[in-house]
Amino acid sequence: MASVAGVEGGRLEPIDMRLFRLSHLDYPALGRRIWRGAQLGAAALRKLVPFAGGPSFESLFFESAELMVPPFRADGFEKMIRRALGAPGATNDFRLLPRPLFIGVTDQDEREHVIFGAQGHDDVPISVAIRASLSLNPAFGATRIGGRYYEDGGVTRTSNFVEAIRRGAGLIFVLDPFVPYVSRAPGFASTRGMLFNFDQNIRTISYTRFENTRGWVLRRYPDVRSYTFLPANRLRQLMSVSPFDHRPFLEIWRGAYLSTLQRIQRLRHRMHGDLAVFGVSLELGRAEAVAERLGDGAPTGARRLLPRGPGRDPAATALSRAGCSGGP
């Protein structure tokens, strides 16, 4: 989080999350669409010539939809992740990780789910797999890997918890930030723009699919314990301003931390038992110290949330490690 917030001096260098930069534009795709637009324009001019036999204006209108392509490439973000994973103690190789990591993507043409990190798909660099996983229309074009084109795994699966169960997981934690904002005011959504409603519709489809699948799977595997963490509705509103807007990330992070801790506190007794089965203890002292710092009503800022240096207090130090402590 310190890296995302732009705080220097940490283990990872600051990461620039700004999307609207010239370096993120997909120039090759835009060039191809400009050429296609010129062809359609020439066809329209031929239509003006009597008996030329050119296409109808109706066909030109529908064919012009081909000109609407994702304007951005995700390779700039992949480079940031690659540099972060190249830091001492990190690795960009699935096969060198001490614990297995799986990243779900979608084959754009075959419309099948693919899991990088699994056997047969573990030779892809982790940063490239993450790039493919965030390549989602209408923002980013697909990522080409080994002659295939991949996009966000959410297209085919909202979550890979089914795969986790198949691999033997008995305790699963799902973090699902991709949920819609719910308004009780009639007409709220209709007054917003096309981008807002497109984003909300996709979120609704994704969450509904996840809920239905989760209910069915847990009935089939009654011994599996599962906890799902969702953002509070007021936080969803902040996240729904625009799917491309990175500016409120500090406030989003603050709200996510506090709401997650509140849910853990409500489920503390149940979680204690489930975690104990796997030799894990639940200690909330550090997390509650951080929450006290975040919840005092003072303005949110990167330096305040993520102070640095040897003199920082224990609550600030706990920002990256608060929560559960593992057993032997």
Asked if residues 60 and 40 have their Cβ atoms less than 8 Å apart, the reply is yes
Where residue 51 falls (left for φ over 0; alpha for ψ -120 to 50; beta otherwise) is: left
Q: Looking at residue 281, what is its pLDDT? A: 92
Sheet holding 143-145, edge to edge: 112-116, 103-107, 148-152, 143-145
- Nearest CA to 41 out of 16, 19, 67 is that of 67
- Nearest CA to 229 out of 193, 202, 266, 183 is that of 266
Scored b (16 or more CB within 10 A) or e, 98-130 reads eeeebbbbbbbeeeebbbbbeeebbebbbbbbb
Tokens of 228: 């799902």
Q: Looking at residue 198, what is its pLDDT? A: 86
Nearest-angstrom CA–CA distance, 258 and 229: 12
Q: Looking at residue 90, what is its pLDDT? A: 92
Tens digits of per-residue pLDDT, 161-185? 999 999 999 999 999 888 999 999 9
Tokens of 94: 């699935």
pTM: 0.77
Cα 182 from chain centre? 20
- Regions in the chain scoring below 50 on pLDDT: 302-304, 307-328
φ, ψ at 74 (rounded to 5°)? -100, 10
Q: Looking at residue 285, what is its pLDDT? A: 92
Asked if residues 207 and 176 have their Cβ atoms less than 8 Å apart, the reply is yes
Count of C-beta atoms within a 10 Å radius of residue 322:
19
- Nearest CA to 220 out of 154, 166, 275 is that of 166
If you search the block for the tokens 């190789």, which residue do you land on? 93
